[in-house]
Chain A
Amino acid sequence: MSKTLFDKVWDSHVVHRIKNGPDVLFIDRHMVHEVTSPVAFLGLKNRNAKVLFPDKTFATADHNTPTINQHLPVKDPLSANQLKALEENSKLHGISYWGLGHKKNGIVHVIGPEYGITQPGATIVCGDSHTSTHGAFGAIAFGIGTSEVEMVLSTQCIMQPKPKKMRINIDGKLNKGVTPKDVALFIISKLTTSGATGYFVEYSGNVFTEMSMEGRMTVCNLSIEMGARGGMIAPDKKTFDYIKNKEFTPKGDYWTKAMKYWLTLKSDKNAIFDKELDFDGNKIEPMITYGTNPGMGMSISNGIPKTINQNSGAKTYLKSLEYMNFNEGESMLGKKIDFVFLGSCTNGRIEDFRAFTEMVKGKKKSPNVTAWLVPGSRKVEQAIKEEGLLSILEEAGFELREPGCSACLAMNDDKIPAGKYALSTSNRNFEGRQGPGSRTLLASPLVAAAAAITGSVTDPRTLY
């Protein structure tokens, strides 16, 4: 029978099928961070249980860490306590822990691929909804809650009903200034934040096959923002080249054997999806959000949609615009920006820093803008320095911070003040997401760079 890529990976990981219930799915890789794990470890302690497969479990500190002066003790006692808990729990259970200051430290979804922990055909979970990122390698990767973190720590399995399957196909040639982030924001604006709930998405079409691995990660990362549990892209030569010779990828004969399996990882010709959508890549423009969920996005040169044209309730829509202090019909171009945030598991990889740097090269940061440039990992930070990007950024008036999730969720001190506008390359523009009362506009690193230079929302195509 013809199978989709998703079916192939899922079915090969089912340990046990519960009648009229969920499947018991074996998990190959479990990523753990400081915020969603302590209560899970506490649960293990209360059960007198151990981590079943410590070598399939990887821990890092990212959500609740400072992005300056990481060599100093963490000031906030609650954050320090959470980091200490993860360090102790990792030690107790024999899990490798890449904590603050470790040379492999970084955002969980950035470091997984960097060290080859992320592999095609694997099942990967983490107590974080953006685990969908790893789907870029043809893995089934999705976010889980803390009870499920405890479940995976103690049994290496998770109970999940098999989701439905959706394929999103985009062919065409992306226009200049259009990045993978724009493609993702475009899809979400069409589907809304609940349009793919209950589905696992496969992205296909030449727009995705021509994308770099970093770009594919950005797209898969944002799958959750349309409600999908995860998204995946069939692995190809680009995927294999990216992971070859990484620390945790198979070597020698094991590589050859793995390749044999990985080459089978694509949807069969006649495979059936529960839903198929097609979009035209030629028509995508640089995108920006104007509201308080990632589905409220549009082409940067459009006007804010009228309430009357909304599917969601008028009351909710107007509440959102009121929070942003925007009016329907208005253009976003020229709107004043107070902060620019480049970073996160969505756009904190080297390619994002290259794009940003290219745009600001030879120009100066607007004096009205506070810019936070936060690499996704130590490795990204190192590459920024080695490739000479740092000196270009500094010349243009920017500073580089240390790795972490930072202002994406503002658990640490990187908070946007109430009422201020932040143009962010992150993934969520919810009310208060980047600090109580903060207002977020989501966009690509190029749009972020253009705003950092001009101090207002600017179409990056006008700056080339």
Chain B
Amino acid sequence: MKKFILVALLLSSFSLWAKTIKVEVSGMVCSMCAQGIEKKFKKMDVVNSIKVDLDTKLVHIELDDDQDISDEVITKNIVDSGYNVAKIIRE
């Protein structure tokens, strides 16, 4: 029973730490040109998945449990991809 509670606590704590960061990117009008954003974030070990939405101009970065990326790293990746960061939203 103790083990079960411990596992349940661990699982719940991991899910609390799993993060999605939304980045609003300006100038993102061409999906082929924006492939660089996806490529740069996918290379990072802490990134679980990435989704680019041209309609909302948002890049959704889902991180591995208990991981984080600084605003500076996010901004550098976006700028190196040729775009500007309008806003970083952390959930």
Q: Do A and B come from one complex?
A: no
